[in-house]
């Protein structure tokens, strides 16, 4: 059972048949056509020789097929992780140098080891600290930053920088030196790729092709762009005219080798490796869960950690760089009918054949075409509309999303995401430090209790019913003390305070001390504290302390039971009418 848990391939492998193999093979063919140009482009984005992207698309796919739990996730180089790799290594070594490539392998190894360790320790929950608004802002900003960074290849000029304040002035300064043949190639490629992504499928359907076949052919648009560009450069001898090309691409499969094990460099790369691992894991799991839900399947977060860890270790051993599950490729893999991770195995075989047979043909591939491929791919990641929606729904989450986006664009990739995560945590602490505490009363003719500001309810003059809509812990413990003090001071007739704990999932040590302080203050004022609707786990914690033996009150199973026992039978409680739906209930 333990082995089957860590090797999901043992489950789907038992029922694997010819039908599944045929569907996986078709999906692999389509994904391979898409992955070859993307791998070349994302390696260039990471500051590495283009062939490195192909290396990172062979063994990692095999490793994920063994340990990953998603049936349709397509692993390999992705734009955001490639950008983070470049942002990490560019300040340390010259791009494209042997030292840079060795550091990229070491970075992949660190990512793999961290992910595998997180899997063994079942630490997948750590990725929850990357909230959706932060991830959305990070991905949108990364898409903009990547697109701007690729403009130098479209213009045929030199420019570098890890943020917009560095990149834009250099690009503007270099505009007079624009290489016009390169710009023409890049512009035509950009126009074709954009048209193929948005219009080609519909045009092919009008010619009588089925929607599925038309979609698959449209996804091969980048391959056609590469072929046409290579032929044009070769026939017109554009390399001699100054068009920058990929150049000599080594032929043959990568050999297995260990990255340079430099302890000082490893410690320097470790923080970035952790960040890349978390971002890659969040992106991969989000895609995997979405696609699995469509087929009523499930994925295991710990299996995903191990699968991605094995994929990154494999990338490090085969001359690659950090990888993760890609959104666009995974959707294509799913739409093409992939049934199992064997589709990834077949894709790896296709990439392997490309490395052995096709790499000499890539010599005349213009870098501008790869830049256009990257730009079209990453602009689909930019979702600025979500900023408006998030801000309207929650200004705190919107602030975190905006901070992340601006941080990435204006400061840098790592600083931006750390800024977003830090602000999210600070805003969470601020929000929970002032929990919603409502005075509640009984809805006439029922056992329900609601906010006196919203509903016409019955209140006992001697019993104050107080509902806390938040867990009680150190940031809000003092706030509870102050709020209780205010309410008791304004209600001199109250003799019992019942704390309704239906929304309390935790009472930590600080909050327990505050409860003891509240008990003492209430006793001084002639008021007794009681609890109601305490959840089981919270009650278990309270039983491990001496609070229940010394606070002097009772713990009621329901607020109705508390009011029935504590309110004087002859009392005539007043009725209050709620005034608006703008306040919280």
> Residue 61 CA to chain centroid, in angstroms?
21
475-512 burial string, b = 16+ CB within 10 Å, else e? bbbebbbebbeeebeebeebbbbbbbbebbeebeeebb
38 touches 329 (CB < 8 A): yes
The reply to whether 585 falls in a domain is: no
Q: What is the pLDDT of residues 168-177, one digit of tens each?
A: 999 999 999 9
Q: Is there a single domain that holds both residue 390 and residue 443?
A: no
The tokens for 411 are 């400061």
Q: What is the pLDDT of residues 192-201, one digit of tens each?
A: 999 988 888 8
Among 397, 425, 453, the domain boundary falls at 425
Q: Is there a single domain that holds both residue 417 and residue 441?
A: no
pLDDT exceeds 60 at position 145: yes
* Backbone φ, ψ for residue 564 (5° rounding): -65, -35
185 touches 368 (CB < 8 A): yes
212/224: higher pLDDT: 224
Residue listed under structure tokens 């894991």: 281
The reply to whether 582 falls in a domain is: no
Query: What total of structural domains would you count in the chain?
Result: 2
Q: Is there a single domain that holds both residue 245 and residue 323?
A: yes
Q: Is there a single domain that holds both residue 228 and residue 353?
A: yes
DSSP state at residue 366: B
Question: Which helix or strand (DSSP H or E) is residue 15 part of?
Answer: none
Beta bridge partners of 500: 467, 532
At residue 328's C-alpha, the angle toward residues 89 and 228, to 5°, is 85
Given pLDDT bands bounded at 50, 70 and 90, which one contains residue 431? Answer: confident
Q: Is there a single domain that holds both residue 396 and residue 455?
A: no
Residues 6+ apart with CB under 8 A from 160: 90, 166, 167, 170
Q: Is there a single domain that holds both residue 102 and residue 80?
A: yes
Q: Is there a single domain that holds both residue 502 and residue 371?
A: no
Residues 6+ apart with CB under 8 A from 234: 364
Q: Is there a single domain that holds both residue 161 and residue 254?
A: yes
Among 425, 451, 481, the domain boundary falls at 425
373 touches 110 (CB < 8 A): no
The tokens for 506 are 């935790």
CATH number for the domain harbouring residue 476: 3.30.750.24
Residue listed under structure tokens 């049934």: 339
Strand 528-532 to strand 496-500: parallel, antiparallel, or no bridges (unpaired)?
Answer: parallel
Given pLDDT bands bounded at 50, 70 and 90, which one contains residue 283? Answer: confident
105-123 burial string, b = 16+ CB within 10 Å, else e? bbbbbbbbbbbbebbeeee
Question: Which helix or strand (DSSP H or E) is residue 162 part of?
Answer: none
Please classify residue 190 by burial: count the beta carbons closer than 10 Å to its beta carbon, then call 0-12 exposed, 13-18 middle and 19+ buried: buried
Q: Is there a single domain that holds both residue 419 and residue 466?
A: no
Q: What is the pLDDT of residues 96-119, one digit of tens each?
A: 899 999 999 999 999 999 999 999
The reply to whether 48 falls in a domain is: yes
The reply to whether 161 falls in a domain is: yes
Calculate mean pLDDT across residues 83-96: 91
Summary mean pLDDT of the chain: 88
Closest CA to 138 of 363, 337, 458, 409: 409
The reply to whether 554 falls in a domain is: yes
By three-state DSSP, how is residue 578 classified? Answer: coil
Q: Is there a single domain that holds both residue 314 and residue 362?
A: yes
Q: Is there a single domain that holds both residue 473 and residue 449?
A: yes
Number of CB atoms found within 10 A of residue 3's CB:
7
Q: Is there a single domain that holds both residue 462 and residue 500?
A: yes
> Residue 487 CA to chain centroid, in angstroms?
43
Cα separation, 386 vs 380, whole angstroms: 13
Region of poorest pLDDT, from 329-343, 431-445, 452-466, 526-540: 329-343
Given pLDDT bands bounded at 50, 70 and 90, which one contains residue 314? Answer: very high
The reply to whether 583 falls in a domain is: no
Strand 457-458 to strand 463-468: parallel, antiparallel, or no bridges (unpaired)?
Answer: unpaired
pLDDT exceeds 60 at position 570: no
Question: Which helix or strand (DSSP H or E) is residue 403 part of?
Answer: helix 395-410
Residue 222: per-residue pLDDT: 86
Question: 3-state SS string over 214-241?
Answer: HHHHHHCHHHHHHHHHHHHHHHHCCCCC
pLDDT exceeds 70 at position 341: yes
Q: What is the pLDDT of residues 9-64, one digit of tens each?
A: 777 777 788 888 888 898 888 888 888 888 999 999 999 999 999 999 999 999 99
Cα separation, 116 vs 120, whole angstroms: 6
Among 425, 448, 464, the domain boundary falls at 425
Residue 489, domain extent: 437-576
The reply to whether 584 falls in a domain is: no
The reply to whether 79 falls in a domain is: yes
């Amino acid at each position: 059972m333990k082995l089957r848990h860590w090797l999901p391939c043992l489950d789907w492998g038992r029922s694997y048949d010819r039908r599944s193999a045929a569907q996986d093979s078709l999906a692999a063919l389509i994904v391979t056509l898409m992955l070859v140009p993307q791998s070349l482009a994302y390696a260039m984005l990471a500051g590495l020789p283009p062939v490195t992207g192909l290396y990172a698309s062979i063994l990692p796919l095999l490793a994920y097929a063994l340990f990953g739990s998603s049936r349709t996730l397509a692993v390999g180089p992705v734009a955001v992780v490639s950008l983070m790799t470049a942002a990490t290594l560019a300040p340390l070594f010259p791009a494209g140098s042997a030292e840079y490539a060795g550091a990229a392998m070491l970075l992949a190894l660190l990512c793999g080891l961290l992910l595998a360790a997180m899997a063994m320790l079942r630490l997948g929950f750590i990725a929850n600290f990357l909230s959706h608004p932060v991830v959305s802002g990070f991905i949108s900003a990364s898409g903009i930053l990547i697109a701007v960074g690729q403009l130098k290849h479209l213009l045929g000029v030199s420019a570098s920088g890890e943020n917009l304040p560095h990149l834009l002035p250099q690009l503007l300064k270099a505009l007079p030196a624009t290489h016009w043949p390169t710009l023409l190639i890049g512009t035509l490629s950009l126009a074709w790729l954009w048209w193929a992504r948005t219009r080609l499928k519909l045009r092919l359907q009008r010619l009588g092709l089925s929607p599925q076949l038309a979609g698959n052919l449209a996804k091969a648009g980048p391959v056609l762009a590469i072929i046409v560009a290579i032929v044009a450069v070769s026939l017109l001898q554009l390399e001699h005219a100054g068009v920058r090309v990929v150049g000599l691409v080594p032929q043959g499969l990568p050999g297995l080798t260990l990255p340079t094990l430099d302890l000082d460099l490893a410690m320097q790369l470790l923080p970035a490796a952790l960040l890349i691992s978390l971002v890659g894991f969040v992106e991969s799991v989000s895609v995997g869960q979405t696609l699995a839900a469509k087929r009523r399947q499930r994925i295991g977060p710990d299996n995903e950690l191990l699968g991605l860890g094995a994929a990154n270790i494999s990338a490090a051993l085969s001359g690659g760089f950090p990888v993760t599950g890609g959104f666009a490729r995974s959707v294509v893999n799913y739409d093409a009918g992939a049934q199992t991770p064997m589709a990834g195995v077949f894709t790896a075989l296709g990439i392997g054949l490309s490395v052995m047979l096709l790499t000499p043909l890539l010599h005349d591939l213009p870098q501008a075409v790869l830049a256009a491929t990257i730009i079209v791919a990453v602009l689909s990641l930019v979702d600025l509309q979500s900023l408006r929606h998030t801000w309207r729904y929650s200004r705190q989450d919107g602030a975190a999303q905006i901070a992340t986006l601006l941080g990435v664009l204006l400061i840098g990739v790592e600083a931006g995401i750390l800024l977003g995560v830090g602000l999210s945590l600070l805003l969470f602490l601020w929000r929970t430090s002032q929990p919603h505490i409502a005075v509640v009363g009984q809805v006439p003719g029922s056992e329900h209790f609601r906010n006196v500001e919203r509903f016409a309810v019955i209140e006992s003059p001697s019993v104050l019913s107080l509902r806390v809509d938040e867990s009680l812990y150190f940031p809000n413990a003092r706030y509870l003390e102050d709020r209780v003090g205010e309410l008791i001071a304004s209600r001199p007739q109250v003799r019992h305070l019942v704390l309704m704990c239906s929304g309390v999932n935790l009472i930590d040590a600080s909050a327990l001390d505050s409860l003891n302080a509240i008990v003492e203050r209430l006793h001084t004022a002639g008021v007794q504290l009681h609890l109601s609707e305490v959840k089981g786990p919270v009650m278990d914690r309270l039983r491990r302390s001496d609070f229940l033996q010394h606070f002097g009150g009772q713990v009621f199973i329901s607020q109705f039971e508390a009011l029935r026992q504590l309110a004087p039978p002859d009392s005539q409680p007043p009725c209050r009418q709620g005034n608006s739906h703008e306040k919280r209930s």
